[in-house]
Amino acid sequence: MESKKSPIIIQLSPQDILNLRRRFEKLSEITSFNQDIDFSAKIASYGIFREVGTVNDELARFIFDADTGLPVPRTSLVANLITWNNLSGVCITSSKTQRLELRTPAFYDVVHPTLSANADGTLHSLYIFPEIIQHITAQHGVNLVLVKSWGLNSMFGGFDPKKEYYQTNFWELENNDSLKFADLIRRGQLTLMGTHDLIAHVAGVQKEAWLPLKQKADDVYKTITEYFKTCQKPSISALVLPYTIGVILDDLAQPPTYNSKGHIAVIDALLKKLKHLAIKPQDPLILTEFPKSFQKIIEMSRTKGIENKTQDIEFAVHTMAQQILEKSFVINKSG
Amino acid sequence: MSKTKKSTWATSTIQLALIGAPVAASMTAQAQTFAPQNHTSDLKQQHGAHLASLKSIESSWLEVPVSCKAKGFNADPKKRSIRPTLSQIAKNAYQSYGV
């Protein structure tokens, strides 16, 4: 039997990163991993690599020290790009310990079991290979994709490791990203371009949950499309409700909250509000304050049993729409 | 790498005439003075309005917890160690790549 070679660490020079970016820029807006699995794996690995150990690292809080039973310090996590057996990937280690354990079950599915493990079952490293992960998700009927605009805004653009993710959240609001996200989900697609994608959506993906999820995403996509059909560039005021829907749909597309009745009930109430055109997207509005009840709506969707309180949901949604209108001013175009 | 969105936000060039009270649904019929023929100008004004809105809402936006915004993962780590197990599909996948 051929002996297995050890993974090799790849050091990217600034020119290498530039070349990666240039090639990425030439992609279509949506690229399936299957179209170019090697390049897609490199991009996915790079996206994870950029985030590990930073404030935007969503894996960190699930990586524990097996000896202390505590999470390893996020800042102790180090990522390296690697290649192994013609696979591109990323390897995560901690400077604090070589006995790691993962505190969410599905995480183990996306970490190479033999490369990563110590003899006692703890992990010395986390070896992650997007190509293998694509193979796993495909068995569940879900295909991994790259989204060019998202990548250009994050790993190749607007991402700043020192800043909280709110920076790109603003981008998602103003670019109506809920629509794109809903479109991906209804087509059975997920991005894999960073730690959020990996831990929140890809790890633990379940075929059975995706049929109703796709149907709900289709509903969201069609409603938002219809809402904006006469409007090329809607106001921020008009974008808040769709953004809210997108946040909740993102939750719904996460394995721990698959099929959540609460999330579905709140999405439905928000879609109903859109259909009623409470906020007309073509109105030239400037929003002066983000609605205070946004947080309440999100928290409601995450509350067990909320689906039995439809009046409360509808009142909260109505309140948010009113707050948006009250804090919006019409532009009077002069000259 | 681009810097924060703040640095790219141009000062709004829209001449704002805040017409009386904030908009209520009944007021949206007022003061529509767009010239439909000047499409490019409309888009520019709309873009300026976008920037003005984002600048205006920034402080209230920052008050919203990160957990309520997009790209959050709302599960919590398990309180105790869990047995490392792979799903059968994952096992098959790794084996197919020569584990």
Is residue A320 helix, strand or coil?
helix
Chain A 224-263, residues with CB within 8 Å of chain B CB atoms: 232-233, 235-237, 243, 246-247, 250-251, 254, 256-257
Measured between CA atoms, how close is B10 to chain A, in angstroms? 15
**DSSP assignments along A128-149, one per residue:** E-HHHHHHHHHHTT-EEEEEHH
Nearest CA to A100 out of A77, A80, A130, A128 is that of A77
d(CA A226, CA B16): 29
Residue window 142-161, chain A: list those with CB within 8 Å of chain B: 157-160
pLDDT at B3 over 70: no
What local confidence, expressed as pLDDT, does residue B26 receive?
A: 35
What is the Cα–Cα distance from B79 to B97, expressed in whole angstroms?
Answer: 33
In this complex, do A302 and B60 lie within 8 Å of one another by their Cβ atoms? Answer: no
Burial category of A162 from C-beta neighbours within 10 Å (exposed 0-12, middle 13-18, buried 19 and up): exposed
Per-residue H/E/C for chain B: CCCCHHHHCCCCCCCCCCCCCCCCHHHCCCCCCCCCCCHHHHHHHHHHHHHHHHHHHHHHHHCCCHHHCCCCCCCCCCCCCCCCCCCHHHHHHHHHCCC
Convert the pLDDT of each residue in B23-43 to its tens digit: 443 333 333 333 344 567 777
Rounded to whole angstroms, the Cα distance separating A280 from B32 reads 13
* Alpha-carbon B79 to chain mean position: 33
CA nearest to B82, candidates A119, A104, A123, A121? A104
- Write the single-letter amino acid at A77: L
Residues in chain B closer than 8 A to A256 (CB atoms): 74-75
Q: Collapse the DSSP code of A81 into the 3-class scheme (helix H, G, I; strand E, B; otherwise coil) and give the result.
A: strand
pTM higher than 0.90, yes or no? no
Q: CB neighbours (10 Å) of residue A212?
A: 13
Is A283 in Cβ contact with B25 (below 8 Å)? Answer: no
Query: What is the DSSP secondary structure assignment for residue A202, as one 8-state letter?
Result: I
Regions of chain A short of the pLDDT cut 70: 1-4, 158-169, 333-335
- CA distances A308 to A252, A262, A313, A315, B49, Å, are 18, 8, 9, 14, 39
Name residue A3's amino acid.
S
Q: How many CA atoms lie within 13 A of A94 on its CB side?
A: 25
The 10 Å Cβ neighbour count of residue A60 is 23
pLDDT at B40: 74
- Neighbouring CB atoms inside 10 A of A58's CB total 20
Best B26, B62, B71 member to test A by mutation, with max A CBs in 10 Å, is B71
Q: Say if residue A236 is exposed, middle or buried (CB neighbours under 10 Å; 0-12, 13-18, 19+).
A: buried
Amino acid found at B38: N
**Residue-wise pLDDT tens digits, B52-81:** 898 889 889 888 888 888 777 878 898 888
Q: Which residues of B touch A196 (CB under 8 A)?
A: 71-73
For residue A71, the 8-state DSSP code is B
Measured distance CA(A252)–CA(B60) in Å, rounded: 26
Chain A CB contacts of B89 below 8 Å: 109, 136, 139-140
CB neighbour list of residue A279: distance below 8 Å, 6 or more residues apart: A237, A238, A240, A241, A285, A321, A324, A325, A328
Q: Position of tokens 């690229």?
A: A31
Tokens for A131, please give them.
Answer: 């190509």
Give the mutation candidate from A286, A296, A299 for the B interface (greatest B CB count, under 10 A): A286
Contact A311, B10 (CB under 8 A): no
Mention every residue, 6+ apart, whose C-beta is less than 8 A from residue A121.
B83, B84
Helix (H) / strand (E) containing A87: strand A87-94
Q: Is the dihedral of CA A207, A211, A216, A218 positive or negative?
A: positive
Enumerate the residues of chain A whose CB falls inside 8 A of the CB of residue B47.
233
**Angstrom distances, CA of residue A89 to CA of A14, A35, A122, A126:** 19, 18, 20, 10
Per-residue pLDDT, B19? 33
> What is the crossing angle of helices A310-326 and A261-275, to 10°?
50
B21 near A CB under 8 A: no
Residue B13 has pLDDT above 50, yes or no: no
